[in-house]
Amino acid sequence: MAHLSLFLTALLAATLLPAQSEAVLAAMLLDGTHDWRGLVLVATVGNTLGATINWILGRFASHFRNREWFPLRSRLYERAQDWFARYGVWSLLLSWLPFVGDPLTVIAGVLRVKIWTFLILVTIGKASRYLIITATTLWLA
């Protein structure tokens, strides 16, 4: 059940909804009852799946971006577009960053980045973040 809560929190954290998967991961690491490798894997898969939801939103719903209900504000949308124009698909390695990471994954869908390229780069970025959080948490404990 603990792994499911980490997975769901990580999934939500990668969408445009607020969630704190880092805090859940750190708490589970400090609890000491779970293997860190499994926790990193679960968090990475959940967070990558959430980013994929954003890609799908960008790919298939971007023509609704000027509607009031569209979840991505135009300022964040434009900032993500600028990052993408400047750094290309490699900017997806930074999809874990607060504020700009989620919009980057939406923009990748809008720009029709190939799904396999998207998944590889986003997974590397997300896994790196969770590995750093894990190392820092275990080192400080």
pTM confidence score: 0.88
**75 token code pair:** 């300022």
Contacts for 117 with CB less than 8 Å, ≥ 6 apart: 89, 92
Q: 56-82 pLDDT, tens per residue?
A: 988 987 777 777 777 667 777 777 778
* Alpha-carbon span 124 to 115, nearest angstrom: 14
Q: 116-136 pLDDT, tens per residue?
A: 999 999 999 999 999 999 999
Backbone φ, ψ for residue 43 (5° rounding): -65, -40
Q: Helix H segments across 32-73?
A: 36-61
Q: 32: part of which helix (H) or strand (E)?
A: none
